[in-house]
Structure 1
Amino acid sequence: MLGKLVFLFEKNKKSVLYKELNKNNVLDKYLEANNFKWKPGEITVVPYYDFEKEHFEEGFGFVVVGAVKENFAPEDIRALVAKAAKALKDKVETLEVERFSDSKDFIEPAFEGFYIGTYTFDKYKSQKESKNKLTHLDLIKPEQSKQVIFESPKIVKAVISGQNYTRDLVNTPPNEFIPESFIEEANKLKDNYGFELKVLKGEKLKEEGFIGIYSVGKGSKNPPAFIHLIYKGKNPKKRISLVGKGLTFDAGGLDIKPASYMRNMK
């Protein structure tokens, strides 16, 4: 089954594919009936319309209508495609996205959004997510008789692989993912990608002046750790430092946060 993502712009301007699918104004009427606001970033899912029977039929396909600015930012496309992919990932095998721009700022974010939207965390499910049917993305231009086939750029695959890896760690519950688990993951990165790894924990943190981490960590039975990963590429031009707050929930310091915030921490 197939899904299509078409676009609406400011001032009621409609994309080419929207106009093609809007026979007898069926899309316009559906959006109006479902209180579509035409706000940038908004989407709605429209079932396939059977013109002979004159009603919507969910068994044949879906159109996702997304509102976007013509002078879009990459994040606008990424977010809309992600929403469309998430909405249809258990319903269709292929998502066709109307390619109203050939710029890099459209192509790469479209693939990024696709992978973000089809992400599933099923580590603890005895029956894995077999419902996730959506595996293919096509970027189409309806006015072209011969479509150009776009492959996902390597940089996109690398970035999304890292993002989804991080999402897996974040989604792992804190009783399972403790500071020692972070160290295990850091060791995997070291072994797989050639990082250098330095780990400070226990009294060594205090000796090296990491008093905040050392003190807050006393609130947990799992001692805290400071993890330093170093990657040295070939012919480096400059040093880049990335500082991240990789906290697990059960790392102490709970009483200094309001309950409403603690509830959403992992």
Structure 2
Amino acid sequence: MTALTLSTSSPATTRVDAIVIGVAKGSGDSGTPVVAPGAETVDKALGGRLAAVLETLGATGGEGEITKLPAPDKLKAPLVLAVGLGAAPAAGEAYDPETLRRAAGAAARALAGTAKAAFALPVADGVESVAAVGEGVLLGAYAYTAYRGADGAAGNGQKAGAKGAKAAKGGRKGARDDARAPLAEAALLGAKPRDKAHKAAVERAAVLAEEVARARDLINMPPNDLYPASFAAQAQAAAKEHGLKIEVLDEKALVKGGYGGIMGVGQGSHHAPRLVRLSYTHAKAKKTLALVGKGITYDSGGISLKPPGHNETMKCDMSGAAAVFAAVVAAARLKLPVNVTGWLALAENMPSGGALRPGDVLTMYSGKTVEVLNTDAEGRLVLADALTRAGEESPDAIVNVATLTGAMVMALGNSTFGIMSNDEAFRTQVHETAQEAGELSWPMPLPPGLRKGLDSTIADISNMGERMGGGLTAGLFLQEFVSEGTPWAHLDIAGPAFNESAPSGYTPKGGTGSSVRTLLRLAERTASGELG
């Protein structure tokens, strides 16, 4: 992880490999970019011609645009990197935190292979700006190189548990010679090392980024090394390290306990399923938040096999469980005065002679029976058992996270997750929380009229409804397993969980760690009494 420090030094006197400055779009027809606050000494070193030089090099100030130029002799650094901030804010207003977060992330990615850089972005507006730049730098500097080179953790499954643990814990070691290491050290110029609020903001940013990296590492890990038992082992190691309580139900305990959904999904694989309960408690906590994550470590679709072209990224179907895992650990590391319980519903969905079949009926942990019409609608089955179990502990709210439906991707695209809830006020609060955290989301309805499509002729409910509005129907199915009177929200992160496009801002290619920031911010707001 990139080392992050605060500094009041001037960009002109800071000895680093690169100085990062911000540049905004110019107004009017000239197109000349505008140098952002924080870069005044760099501009002075160029005789006030920094904007003109950047324009000559083709810079426009567009969001995420990277322009590099040799530093003038008056600077101690050899390189100046200008990152685009988009439109400048109105007079007297600060840059939006997410704009700063993305710009810092883009700059950090562009500086891969660099030992030390100083970020002179606009942070004079206060703690929120310092936190955003810090988060952006650390999130943008992420790289997953565990399976590159002789020292990497790649294996053939013979020692997958040990190799998988090594890959997740040290996922940025053993890179090939041609793979550049992430930025090693970053100094935030303009921030105040002795300011308690600034220091706390950077410390939080470091914990958050490390836990997002934990989720990303798990998502990126190949399924021959990450399966239910090895995932559970990683949770056990983290629980021991951070003082969390953990309970792991193996296949025998799941059968004995009547967890028909989890066992049904996992019965086709030689990797048996698991249900993990990971909990953090605080002596001064007044509220309890339950988080439930879908953890399908590989989803072939089962007997309802996915079509060609849809299997290659299905290792990411455990992204919800990874996010929940990371959020619980982050809450513990930050010592938040709230109780947080994470439920990881882990299974591998495979076709075999013993696999779940379309037409089978499962008896769920709740006692309800479910007719399985499509074995590729498996995530809702494992979540249903975990939601029922989580509700037995009477938490103040339940939030589940899942890469649940392609329909949600069709509705909201690849960057935005949907939020459904049995409580409109709670849905609004979760949406506002995601906005605060800098994650794109959108509130979605649970139309009662779609519920009839889930009716079964032989069981209490079926796992498939109408094709149109499939993402909403999935939410209605889950709602059937939520304890009455408990505020509940369902986050369908199928779009943003795994980035198959080019990296941008602080978002890498591959696993993104989507919703970790939202869940942590939700825990913080619950701890402060803002929710409920």
Identify the match of residue 64 of structure 2 among 21, 25, 42.
42
Pick the aligned partner of 2:78 from 50, 60, 63. 60
State the partner residue of 1:14. Answer: 35
Of 128, 138, 141, which aligns to 2:187?
Answer: 138
SS of the residue corresponding to residue 245 of structure 1 reads: strand
Distance 2:246 2:113 in 1: 40
Deviation at 1:75, TM superposition (A): 2.4
Which residue number in structure 2 is paired with residue 160 of structure 1? Answer: 209
Q: Does 1:28 align with 2:55?
A: yes
Corresponding residue number in structure 2 for 1:109: 132
> Distance between the aligned counterparts of 2:81 and 2:303, measured in 1?
46
Q: Paired residue for 2:101, among 74, 78, 100?
A: 78
For 1:219, what is the secondary structure of its paired residue? coil
- In 1, distance between residues paired with 2:141 and 2:314? 23
Deviation at 1:10, TM superposition (A): 6.3
SS in 1 for 2:276: strand
Q: Where does residue 171 of structure 1 map in the other structure?
A: 220
| Map of 1:144 onto structure 2 | none
- Deviation, structure 1 residue 123: 2.3
**Contact in 2 for aligned 1:8/1:15 (Cα 8 Å):** yes
Letter matched to residue 31 of structure 1: G
Q: Does 1:5 align with 2:5?
A: no
Is the counterpart of residue 236 in structure 1 residue 257 in structure 2? no
Question: Is the partner of 1:249 in helix, strand or coil?
Answer: strand
Among 123, 127, 130, the alignment partner of 2:146 is 123
Instruction: Using the TM superposition, give the Cα deviation of residue 23 of structure 1 relative to its aligned residue in structure 2, in angstroms.
Output: 4.0
Distance 1:138 1:194 in 2: 31
CA RMSD in angstroms, aligned pairs only? 3.1
CA distances 1:188-231 after superposition (whole Å, capped 9, x unpaired): 12222222222223254345443332222123221111111122
Deviates more, 1:206-215 or 1:10-19: 10-19
Displacement of 1:64 in angstroms is 2.6
Q: CA deviation at 1:67?
A: 2.0
Cα deviation, residue 73, structure 1: 3.3
Structure 2 stretches lacking a partner, 5+ long: 1-16, 28-32, 152-173, 316-532
Question: Which segment is superposed worse, 154-163 or 18-27?
Answer: 18-27
- 2:35–2:50 contact (8 Å) kept in structure 1: no
Q: Provide the rounded CA distance (Å) in 1 between the counterparts of 2:207 and 2:109.
A: 20
Residue equivalent to 2:234: 185
CA drift of 1:184 comes to 0.6
Residue in 2 aligned with 1:196?
A: 245
Change (3 A) 1:191 1:65: closer
1:214 corresponds, among 237, 258, 263, to 263
Matches of 1:254 and 1:28, distance apart in 2: 58
2:311 aligned residue:
262
The residue type equivalent to 1:74 in the other structure is P
| Corresponding residue of 2:414 | none
Q: Distance in 2 between matches of 1:258 and 1:208?
A: 34
The amino acid across from 2:311 in the alignment is M
Residue 117 of structure 2: which of 78, 81, 94 is its match?
Answer: 94
Contact conserved, 1:190 with 1:197, CA < 8 A, in 2? yes
SS, match of residue 242 in structure 1: strand
Conserved? CA contact 1:217–1:223, under 8 Å = yes
**One-letter amino acid of the counterpart of residue 15, structure 1:** A
Question: What amino acid does structure 2 have at the position aligned with 1:66?
Answer: G
User: Scaled by the length of structure 1, what TM-score is found?
Assistant: 0.78
Q: Which moved more, 1:100-109 or 1:244-253?
A: 244-253
Q: Does the CA-based 8 Å contact 1:195-1:230 persist in structure 2?
A: yes
Q: For the structure 1 residues 46 and 215, does the alpha-carbon distance in structure 2 shift closer, same or farther, using more than 3 Å as the test?
A: same
CA contact (8 A) 1:5 1:64 kept: yes
Distance in 2 (alpha carbons) for counterparts of 1:134 and 1:91: 5
In 2 relative to 1, CA 99–105 (structure 1 residues): closer, same or farther, beyond 3 Å?
Answer: same
Q: Which runs of 5+ in 1 are unaligned?
A: 52-58, 142-146
Q: Who is 1:56 aligned against?
A: none
Total equivalences in the alignment = 249
C-alpha distance in structure 1 between counterparts of 2:137 and 2:120, whole Å: 10
Alpha-carbon separation, structure 2, partners of 1:252 and 1:224: 16
Q: Go from structure 1 to structure 2 and tell me whether the alpha carbon gap of 1:258 and 1:75 turns closer, same or farther (over 3 Å shift).
A: farther
